[in-house]
C-alpha cells in the first residue's frame, strides 16, 4: 500500500510529538523510510520531499519525480511535459526517471569504430556533468521550483525542520554562506539519489536473471525480439545483458544519444511558435558539442527500467501509452501517416535536420509500404517484456559496479 506522503508526514509528526510528550530521554526512532540511511542521505531525502522550497511553496523534487511513478511523472499534468510550481508554466521536456540516473557517466565525447560520439551526462541533453550539478538547477528554473536566488533558498532551508541536522552535517556556520549551502544541498540530494531506493534492481527481469523467477512465454518472446538485431534491435541502444549475473550490466541504456524523429507535441506551449524546435544536444539548453549540427535533434537514450510507470514517453512526452511508443519504432518508416500530420515525417525538426534522424539500423531501415520489422503480436510481446522491468517484483538484488562498456559504433549520431 502506498501511503500518501502528506499523511505519512502528519503521522510522523504526531508520533514524534507523542514521544516528546513522554519526556523520556530516548533518541527519536528513525521514521521507517529513513531506516538504514546515513545522516547525509536523510538530509537529501528531506530536501527531496520538501515542498516548502519552491516559489510559491507546494512543489518539491518529488512532485515531478514521484516515488509512486518510479521517481518520474509530470506533477499531475497530462501535457507530456512537467508543470511548474506556479501551477501554470509547462516546461519543454518530459520528466525522466531519477532512478538509475547515478549510473550515467559524466558527459564526454567517446571514440568508437564509427567515430567520436557523445555519451553520458544528466538531463536529456547531458548538460549537467553529475547528479550534484543537476540537483542545484531545478530550484532556480522559472518553470520548475522558481526560487529567485541561492540566498532566498538558504533562508528557507535555515528554518526547515531538518536545519539542525543540516548544521550537524555541514557545519554550524553553513547557512551564513548561500554558495556553501547550495553545494551542501546538492551533495545531500545526490547522496540520496545514490541510495538503493533509486536502484533496487528488484524487477522480474532481475529476479529471472538471478534464477528466482521465470518469464511467461509472451515475456520470453518479447525479450528475444528486444535482443534480436534483425527484429527489435532495441538492445543496440537500450543495452541489456540477461546472461550476466550483475544486474548493473542491464541498465537498458548505453547513455548515448540518438535522433528518433519523435512527432511534435502540440500540447507544449513553446511549440505554438512554428519556428521553435527543441533540438536536444544542440539547444536550446546547450550548444552542440564541437558545433556538430548532425547532433541536432538527438536526445539521451533513457533507461527502460520502470518504463511501465511512465505517464508520458520520449523527451517531449508525445506518447502517453507505452504500446504506441513501441509501435512507433515499428511503423515510423513504413506508415508515416499513422504518426505525422499529412504523412510528412519528422514534423518536430526543421527540414534541414531531417537527415539527422536515424534511418540506418533496425527496427528502422524500411520504406513506406514495406512490412515493418515487428508485427502487432510482436509489439505486444515486447510491451509484455518491458513490463518485467518494473521494480518491486521481489527483493532488491545487490548490483556490483557496471562492467566496462562496449559501445555500438554504428550509432546514427556522430557517424563519420
Ligand atoms: C517541475 C518538475 C520538476 C521538478 C520540480 C524537478 N525536476 Fe528533475 N527533471 C525534470 C525534467 C523535465 C527533467 C529533464 C530536463 C531536461 O532534460 O532538460 C529533469 C531531469 C532530472 C534528472 C536527470 C535524469 C536523467 O536521466 O538525465 C535528475 C537526476 C533530476 N531531474 C532530479 C531532480 C531533483 C533532485 C529535483 C529537486 C531539486 C528535481 N529534479 C526537480 C522535472 C522536474
Ligand atoms: C538507435 C538507438 C535506439 C534503438 C535501436 C531503440 N531505441 Fe528506444 N530510445 C532511444 C532514444 C534516443 C530514446 C529517447 C528519444 C527521445 O526522447 O527523443 C528512446 C526512447 C525509448 C522509449 C521511451 C522511454 C521514456 O522513458 O520516455 C521507449 C519505450 C523505447 N525507447 C523503447 C524501445 C524499444 C522497445 C526498442 C526496440 C523496438 C527501442 N527503443 C530501440 C534509442 C533507441
89-145, pLDDT tens digit by residue?
A: 999 999 999 999 999 999 999 998 888 999 999 999 999 999 999 999 999 999 999
CA distance 399 to 295: 33
CA distance 324 to 344: 18
Instruction: Tell me the mean pLDDT in the region 362-384.
Output: 96
Q: Is 60 exceeded by the pLDDT of residue 325?
A: yes
Is pLDDT at 16 greater than 70 in this prediction?
no
Q: By C-alpha distance, which of 139, 158, 159 is closest to 150?
A: 139
Arithmetic mean of pLDDT, 188-216: 97
What percent of the chain stands above pLDDT 90? 86
Residue 212 has pLDDT above 70, yes or no: yes
Assign 406 a pLDDT band (cuts: 50, 70, 90): low
Ligand 2 pocket: which of 117, 120, 258 to mutate (most atoms <8 Å of CB)?
A: 258
Is the minimum distance from the CB of 124 to ligand 1 under 6 angstroms? Answer: yes
Question: What gap in Å lies between CA 206 and CA 306, rounded to an integer?
Answer: 12
Residue 213: its pLDDT value, please? 97
The pLDDT score that the predictor gives to residue 342 is 93
| Amino acid 28: pLDDT | 72
Taking 50 as the threshold, does the pLDDT of residue 12 lie above it? no
**From the CB of 134, is ligand 1 less than 6 Å away?**
yes
Q: Of the residues 67, 144, 306, which should be mutated to test ligand 1's pocket, given the most ligand atoms within 8 Å of the CB?
A: 144
Mean pLDDT, the chain, as a whole number?
91
Model confidence at 389: pLDDT above 90: yes
142: left (phi over 0), alpha (psi -120 to 50) or beta: alpha
What is the spatial distance between Cα 54 and Cα 37, in angstroms, rounded to a whole number? 25
Q: Which three cell numbers stand for residue 213?
A: 523467477
Reported confidence tier of residue 200, pLDDT bands at 50, 70, 90: very high
State residue 2's pLDDT score.
46
For residue 402, the model assigns a pLDDT of 65
**Mean pLDDT, to the nearest integer, of 59-86?**
98
Average pLDDT for 226-242:
97
Instruction: Round to whole Å and give the CA distance between 25 and 401.
Output: 42
* Spacing, Cα 411 to ligand 2 middle (Å): 13
Long-range (24+ apart) CB contacts under 8 A made by 334-341 are: 334/366, 334/367, 334/368, 334/369, 334/370, 334/371, 334/372, 335/368, 335/372, 336/368, 339/263, 340/263
In b/e form, how buried is each residue of 226-242, taking b as 16+ CB within 10 angstroms?
bbbeebbbbbbbbbbbe
Instruction: Tell me the mean pLDDT in the region 186-214.
Output: 97
Question: Which pLDDT value is given to residue 27?
Answer: 64
Confidence of residue 404 (pLDDT cuts 50, 70, 90): low
Indicate which atom in ligand 2 lies nearest the CA of residue 386. 35
Q: Would you place residue 13 in the very low, low, confident or very high pLDDT band (cuts 50, 70, 90)?
A: very low
Cα atoms in the 13 Å half-sphere on the side-chain side of 155: 7
Tens digits of per-residue pLDDT, 17-35?
444 444 445 667 788 999 9
- pLDDT tens, residue by residue, 340-350: 999 999 999 99
273-318 residue pLDDT tens: 999 999 999 999 999 999 999 999 999 999 999 999 999 999 999 9
User: In angstroms, what is the span from residue 302 Cα to ligand 2's centroid?
Assistant: 7
Give the residue-averaged pLDDT of 363-376: 94
More confident residue, 303 or 13: 303
Distance 133 CA to ligand 2 centre (A): 26
Separation between Cα atoms, residue 305 and residue 250, nearest integer Å? 9
Q: Is the CB of 75 under 6 A from ligand 1?
A: yes
Closest CA to 130 of 97, 99, 107, 156: 107
Amino acid at each position: 500500500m502506498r501511503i500518501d506522503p502528506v499523511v505519512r508526514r502528519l503521522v510522523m509528526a504526531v508520533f514524534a510529538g507523542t514521544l516528546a510528550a513522554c519526556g523520556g530521554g530516548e533518541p527519536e526512532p528513525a521514521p521507517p523510510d529513513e531506516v538504514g540511511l546515513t545522516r547525509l542521505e536523510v538530509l537529501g531525502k528531506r530536501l527531496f520531499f520538501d515542498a516548502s522550497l519552491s516559489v510559491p511553496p507546494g512543489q518539491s523534487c518529488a512532485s515531478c519525480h514521484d516515488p509512486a511513478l518510479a521517481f518520474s511523472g509530470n506533477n499531475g499534468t497530462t501535457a507530456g511535459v512537467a508543470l511548474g510550481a506556479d501551477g501554470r508554466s509547462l516546461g519543454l521536456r518530459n520528466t525522466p526517471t531519477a532512478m538509475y540516473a547515478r549510473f550515467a557517466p559524466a558527459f564526454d565525447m567517446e571514440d568508437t569504430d564509427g567515430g567520436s560520439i557523445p555519451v553520458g551526462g544528466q538531463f536529456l541533453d547531458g548538460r549537467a556533468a553529475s547528479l550534484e550539478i543537476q540537483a542545484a538547477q531545478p530550484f532556480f528554473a522559472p518553470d520548475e521550483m522558481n526560487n529567485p536566488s541561492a540566498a532566498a533558498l538558504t533562508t528557507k532551508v535555515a528554518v526547515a525542520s531538518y536545519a539542525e541536522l543540516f548544521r550537524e552535517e555541514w557545519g554550524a556556520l553553513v547557512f551564513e554562506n548561500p554558495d556553501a549551502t547550495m553545494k551542501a544541498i546538492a551533495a545531500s540530494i545526490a547522496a540520496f539519489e545514490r541510495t538503493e531506493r533509486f536502484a533496487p534492481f528488484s524487477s522480474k527481469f532481475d529476479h529471472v536473471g538471478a534464477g528466482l523467477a521465470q518469464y511467461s512465454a509472451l515475456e520470453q518472446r518479447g525479450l528475444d525480439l528486444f535482443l534480436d538485431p534483425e527484429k527489435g534491435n532495441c538492445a543496440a541502444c537500450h543495452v541489456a545483458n540477461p546472461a550476466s549475473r550483475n544486474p548493473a550490466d542491464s541498465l537498458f541504456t548505453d547513455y548515448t544519444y540518438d535522433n528518433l524523429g519523435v512527432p511534435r507535441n502540440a500540447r507544449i506551449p513553446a511549440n505554438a511558435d512554428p519556428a521553435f524546435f527543441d533540438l536536444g544536444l544542440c539547444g536550446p539548453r546547450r550548444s552542440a558539442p564541437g558545433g556538430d549540427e548532425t547532433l541536432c535533434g538527438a536526445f539521451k537514450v533513457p533507461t527502460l527500467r520502470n518504463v511501465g510507470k511512465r505517464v508520458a514517453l520520449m523527451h517531449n512526452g508525445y506518447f502517453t501509452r507505452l504500446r504506441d511508443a513501441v509501435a512507433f519504432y515499428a511503423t515510423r518508416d513504413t506508415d508515416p501517416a499513422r504518426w505525422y500530420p499529412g504523412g510528412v515525417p519528422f514534423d518536430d525538426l526543421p527540414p534541414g535536420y531531417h537527415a539527422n534522424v536515424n534511418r540506418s539500423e533496425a527496427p528502422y531501415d524500411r520504406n513506406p509500404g514495406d512490412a515493418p520489422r515487428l508485427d502487432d503480436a510482436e509489439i505486444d510481446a515486447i510491451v509484455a517484456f518491458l513490463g518485467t522491468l518494473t521494480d518491486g517484483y521481489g527483493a532488491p538484488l545487490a548490483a556490483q559496479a557496471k562492467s566496462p562498456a562496449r559501445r555500438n559504433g554504428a550509432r546514427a549520431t556522430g557517424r563519420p
